[in-house]
Each structure stands twice: as structure tokens, then as C-alpha cells.
Chains A and B, each alone.
Chain A
Amino acid sequence: MVGRSLREIVWARLRRDRVALICFAILVVMYLLAIVGPYLLNALGYDPYTFDRAAISNSGGQPVLPNGGIEFPKHPLGVEWGTGRDIMAQLLSGLRISLIVSTSATILTVLIGTVVGIVAGYAGGWTDQILGRLMDLVLAFPFLLIVLALSGVMTDRLTAMGVPEGNTSRVLYLILVMSLFGWPYLARIVRGQVLSLREREFVEAAVAMGAGTPRILFGEMLPNLWAPILVYTTLTLPSYIGLEAALSFLGVGVLPPDTTFGAMLANSVSYFQVVPLYLFIPGGMLVLLVVSFNLLGDSLRDALDPKAIH
């Protein structure tokens, strides 16, 4: 029997998992849409910022055509109430912002969490004590409340530090605050793993052969940590997508003329009795995105589980 590495086993398991493959495909399409979608639409003549006065009524601003002004090929998903901006173009630019915020925030969270976790677990002693206290403190902050509470002032501060005003600093704020208050969860997991890895023979061997601390931490330990880190990443990303949407819904995300799923849903509140599609289009997109990530994360977790029977 040929020995297989964990990576090979995981790949083999994932390839057999139809749900995982479908979700992966959906997510690849989503990322592609977020990257090239807006350019493509621009080339085809759709634009999220252009007002279309012809598509909305002069009195009241409601879309002229039924179902939110759906009209092929001009406005395939309808137009926004009051402005006549194209919903499909808005949806894609919202997808882009949502993925930029959640992906960058996740990368930063995982980076901070991993480094702090490894250092705390390996150094032990008072370094571990101090970092542990810091994690307790950060975890004692009510997450959503703090993101909300700091939004105004921190955005101003970022602007004062030279970040372009408006949505650039707002997006940067979201990324920073999510990662600065989100890392302790992963740091705790990694720390626990490192504590047990530290006693293993291969680390002992590395120490005996005179390897330096950075080499032990990142050369020997990190490769053994990637399973929990990967699982945690797939859990964090969808939760950040939801968080960004919630913040935009509450009005602390990006500002008009840019828009995201959360902001579109917040707008829909005034109109969805008349045009239910305003609720279902961005909401459906959001749920599809989060469900795909969660299903893929589940499959990945199962595939990485050495105890699982396949």
C-alpha cells in the first residue's frame, strides 16, 4: 500500500464530494464576477452610477415597468426606486466591495491570529500570560457594538492619516476593525495546537539540531497547523460577509453612490411591499454566497478530519 500525504487524501476526498465541487464552482464564478464583472458590464453599457430618468416615474420615483422595472436587455434585474440606477450593475459592484472587505479582513485576521497564537503557545511564561490577557480583553468587547461605535471616529482618523476620504477610508476601516477585534478566536485555537506540538519529537529534534526559533516556529510548526487554520478561514469568511452586510444595513458601511448587499436591503425596506424583488435579489445573492462558503467549509472540515470514515 502506498502512503499518501494528508494533502493527497484531502484532495481525493474533496474531488468525490459533489456539493463541495458545486460550491467551489459558484465561489470561483463569484470572485470572477467581482473582479471582471464591473468592467464587462461597463463595456456592455451597464453602469451602477448612471441615473435613468426614463425608467422611473416623474412623480414618486417608482419604476415605470412592473417588478421593479425589469426590461430586457436594458435593465435585466430592474432599476432602483427614485434614481433608476441599474440593479444588476449595483449588485456586481456590491459583490466586489463585499468580497474585498471580507477577503482582506479574513486574511488579516488569520495572519494576526496565527502569529500571536504561535508566539503565545511557544514562548509560554509571561509572554503567554500577557497575550492571553490581551485575548480575554479583546473578547470581552461586544464585537458588533464596537465596530458600530468606532465607525465614525476611526474613519475620520484614517482620513486624517492621509487615506482618501469617503468609501476608501470606510472600506479600510471595516477591514481593520474586523481583523483587530476578530483575531483572538483563531489565536486561541492555534495556541492550543502549538502547546501540544511543542512536546512532539520532530520539534525536539529540530531544537537538538540547533534550529533557530523562527525556523522552529514557522518552518516546523506552521506546516502542522494548516488544517485548523484552513477550517477557521472558511468559517470566518462567510461570517465577515454577513457582518459587512449587517453593518451596511445599519448604515455604517459604504456610502452612496456606492452600494453593497446590506445597503440595498436597507433601501428595500421602504419599497418591498410594492416591489418584493428589491428584497429577494440582493438577499438571495447574499445567502447564496454565504451558503456556498459554509458548505465548502463543512466539506473541507470533513475531508481534513482524520477520524472520518470515507
Chain B
Amino acid sequence: MVGLLFLLSLAVFFLFNLLPFDPARLTCGKVCTPQLLEQNRHRLGLDLPPWDQYLAFVRGIFFGRIYAPDQPFPIVCHAPCLGYSFLRHAEVTTLIARALPVTLWLTLGGFIVWITFGVVGGIVAALRRGRWQDRVLMTVALFGYSMPSFFIGLLLIFFVILQLQWLPFPSASAVQAGPFANPVKFFQTMILPWLVIAILNAAFYVRLTRNQVLETFGEDYVRTARAKGLPERTVVVKHALRAGLTPIVTAAGLDIAYLMGGAIITESIFSLPGMGSLSVNAVTNYDLPLITGVVLVAGIFIIAMNLIVDLLYGFLDPRVRIG
């Protein structure tokens, strides 16, 4: 875990910082003399050897960092310092902290919708296997996960906002203010993004849940539960579903982690100012410190979520409980 985090930081840092272009030149301004460029390079800490740059970066995460302390106006980057965006004149941590809540709300709402529809749909399809309910659900699911997310988003905008005018245009500021400042506006903006994420993911979970439930239906303990005369509801929920939950939790954990790193496409379609938009912005502006920071944070989410999922296994499946 710690080893993987270390490797990730190393890989991300060198992937983006040893590439053949020069952040010093990009932030140098219109009139760029060789002296200015050299000075700029020193300010950004780019005159150090790569290894020292990496050490400064890691030290910055733990203790904060001061860029070019010998210059008249040193830039202070506070303790968890993931770098300083010289293009935006802001600490990367600050920018991420501003974008993260938006992505968090997006992920949370989307997750609730998709897991509900996915698991319930999957159970229904499994119980009605081979009948029309099953066929309809599986066809919808197939189309759901075959549709590229941006196409679903565009279709929703076209029909719901433009044609039927059921919802106003999305409002970035309402999302940034959070659900408590202006709940109506917040929900009006978030419903469609939640739906996009939910359609995309629910489709996969319907199939997964269906397969899991069908598989556990063949197990002896399900037959035992039925033979005991337990009500069908208890058999399905407590015996069949519970045992099949492990892969669902694994998949959900990873999907949440990926979304927290930025639902890039959904955010860019609905212009939500979250992690995804932040990274697209960073990429289009060649803002290296910001790209490094965003990718690193997204990677940390994935690694952390893997750990959480591993821990959850113990609760869900008594067979993997250790000691």
C-alpha cells in the first residue's frame, strides 16, 4: 500500500516532469529574455537535478514548500503541498480542494441512483429469468452500457433541457455552493449528470447482480434455506444476494474511486467545476504542476478504495475473515 503510493508518486512525477517541454517558458510571459527564463526556471525549482526536484516535491507534501526563498517575493505553498500552479497563481491543493466537493456530490448522487437500479434490476431479472421482465431489463442494460457517456449526456440535454424544457440549463455556481445553499437549483443541475453516471453504471450492475444471484441460486445453502421454509424474500436477500455481494462491492469500490478522480466527460458536458473539468483545463493549458497533482490525487483514491474494498470483504464474506 505505502509502497504502491511511493511508486505512484514517482511514476506520476517523472512521467510529467521529465517531458520535453519547459514550464518555465510557458509562464515566462510575452517578453522572454534568456535571463528572465533562467530566473523563472530558478523560481520554479527547475534548475535542480530531477532527483532533487522529486525530493522537494515529496518534502512539500509533508512539510510545505517555499519556492525560490532567495528571491524578493517567495511563493509559500502550505503543508500538504502538491505543487504550485504558476499559471493560475494558486496552490494545487487549494484548486483541488475547491473542485473536490463538486465531484463528491456528483459521485455520491450518481452512486445512490445506480446501485439502487442496478441491484434491484439485477434481482428482478434473475427472479424472472427467461421471461419478458428479464429480456427487457437485459436489453436496456446492453444499450445502457453500449452508449458512450457523452452521447447519453447530449441526448438528455437535447430532450430534457432543449426540447421538453423540463429543466433549466445547468448552473455551475449552484453546484459549487453545495446542496444546502440553494437546494432546488442544486438538484435541478445535478439530476441529469447523476442520470448519466447512473445509466452508464447501472447497466453493468444489472448484469453483474443477475449473474451473481443466478449463480448462488444453485448453491446448497440456498436450497437449505428454502427447505427450512424461509420466506422467498429472506432467501433472496439474506442468502442469495449476500453471498454474491463480494464482486459487486469490488466493482462499486473501483467505480467510485475512478469517479472521484473526476467524471471527466460528464463534468465537461454539463460544465460542472469538479475534478474532471480541472484536469481537462490543466491539460489544455499545459499546467504541469496541476496535472501532476490531479493525477496523483486520483491515483490515491484508487489505491485507497482498493484497500477499503479488501477490508469490506471480511465483513461481507465470513470465509475471508482473518483471525
**Residue pair A140, B299 in contact (C-beta under 8 Å):** yes
**A146, A238, A262 pick with most chain B CB within 10 angstroms:** A146
Name the residue on A nearest B276 (C-beta).
A145
With A140-B8, A140-B302 already in contact, the answer to whether A279 and B155 are too (CB < 8 A) is yes
Chain A residues with Cβ under 8 A from B299's Cβ? 140-142
**Residue pair A142, B286 in contact (C-beta under 8 Å):** no
Name the residue on B nearest A139 (C-beta).
B302
Contact with B along A240-267 (1 / 0, CB 8 A): 0010011001111000000000100100
Q: Tell me if B's interface is mostly helix, strand, loop or mixed.
A: helix
With A146-B295, A149-B291, A269-B154 already in contact, the answer to whether A157 and B19 are too (CB < 8 A) is yes
**Residue pair A294, B11 in contact (C-beta under 8 Å):** no
B252-284 interface with A by 8 A CB criterion = 258, 261-262, 264-265, 268, 279-280, 282-284
B151 close to chain A: CB less than 8 A: yes
**Residue pair B295, A283 in contact (C-beta under 8 Å):** no
Q: Given A156, A276, A283, A294, which contacts B151 in the complex, CB threshold below 8 Å?
A: A283
Chain A residues with Cβ under 8 A from B151's Cβ? 245, 265, 283, 286-287
**Interface size (A, Cβ < 8 Å)?**
45
**Residue pair B265, A150 in contact (C-beta under 8 Å):** no
A32 close to chain B: CB less than 8 A: no
Contact with A along B1-41 (1 / 0, CB 8 A): 00110011001100110011100000000000000000000
Within the complex, what minimum Cβ distance (angstroms) separates A101 from chain B? 14
Q: Given B15, B16, B20, which contacts A160 in the complex, CB threshold below 8 Å?
A: B20
With A142-B258, A286-B148, A298-B142 already in contact, the answer to whether A133 and B298 are too (CB < 8 A) is no
What separation, in Å, do the CA atoms of A139 and B11 have in the docked complex?
12
Q: Chain B interface: which size bin?
A: 35 or more
Q: Given B3, B143, B155, which contacts A291 in the complex, CB threshold below 8 Å?
A: B143
What separation, in Å, do the CA atoms of A153 and B16 have in the docked complex?
9
Within the complex, what minimum Cβ distance (angstroms) separates B214 from chain A? 11
**Residue pair A145, B15 in contact (C-beta under 8 Å):** no
**Residue pair A152, B286 in contact (C-beta under 8 Å):** yes
What separation, in Å, do the CA atoms of A287 and B267 have in the docked complex?
21
Chain A residues with Cβ under 8 A from B279's Cβ? 145, 148-149
What separation, in Å, do the CA atoms of A290 and B147 have in the docked complex?
8
Chain B residues with Cβ under 8 A from A146's Cβ? 295
B158 close to chain A: CB less than 8 A: yes
**Residue pair B295, A142 in contact (C-beta under 8 Å):** yes
Contact with B along A107-148 (1 / 0, CB 8 A): 000000000000000000000000001001101111111101
B130-161 interface with A by 8 A CB criterion = 142-143, 145-151, 154-155, 158
A233 close to chain B: CB less than 8 A: no
Name the residue on B nearest A284 (C-beta).
B151
What separation, in Å, do the CA atoms of A207 and B54 have in the docked complex?
48
A268 close to chain B: CB less than 8 A: yes
What separation, in Å, do the CA atoms of A137 and B6 have in the docked complex?
10
A39 close to chain B: CB less than 8 A: no
**Residue pair A291, B142 in contact (C-beta under 8 Å):** yes
**Residue pair B146, A238 in contact (C-beta under 8 Å):** yes
Chain A residues with Cβ under 8 A from B280's Cβ? 148, 250
Chain A residues with Cβ under 8 A from B79's Cβ? none
What separation, in Å, do the CA atoms of A179 and B8 have in the docked complex?
19
Contact with B along A201-241 (1 / 0, CB 8 A): 00000000000000000000000000000000000001000
B44 close to chain A: CB less than 8 A: no
Contact with B along A90-105 (1 / 0, CB 8 A): 0000000000000000
With A142-B258, A145-B264, A272-B154 already in contact, the answer to whether A153 and B21 are too (CB < 8 A) is yes
What separation, in Å, do the CA atoms of A142 and B20 have in the docked complex?
23
A59 close to chain B: CB less than 8 A: no
Chain A residues with Cβ under 8 A from B295's Cβ? 141-142, 145-146, 149
* Extra pairs beyond A140-B303, A245-B148 (7, CB < 8 Å): A140-B4, A145-B294, A153-B20, A272-B154, A273-B162, A283-B155, A290-B146
Q: Which B positions have Cβ atoms within 8 angstroms of A?
A: 3-4, 7-8, 11-12, 15-16, 19-21, 142-143, 145-151, 154-155, 158, 162, 258, 261-262, 264-265, 268, 279-280, 282-284, 286, 291, 294-295, 298-299, 302-303
Closest 6 CB pairs of A and B: A142-B298, A142-B261, A153-B19, A291-B146, A242-B148, A290-B146
Between A and B, 15 residue pairs with Cβ closer than 8 Å are: A137-B4, A139-B302, A140-B299, A141-B302, A145-B261, A145-B262, A145-B298, A148-B264, A151-B283, A153-B16, A250-B264, A250-B265, A272-B154, A291-B142, A294-B146
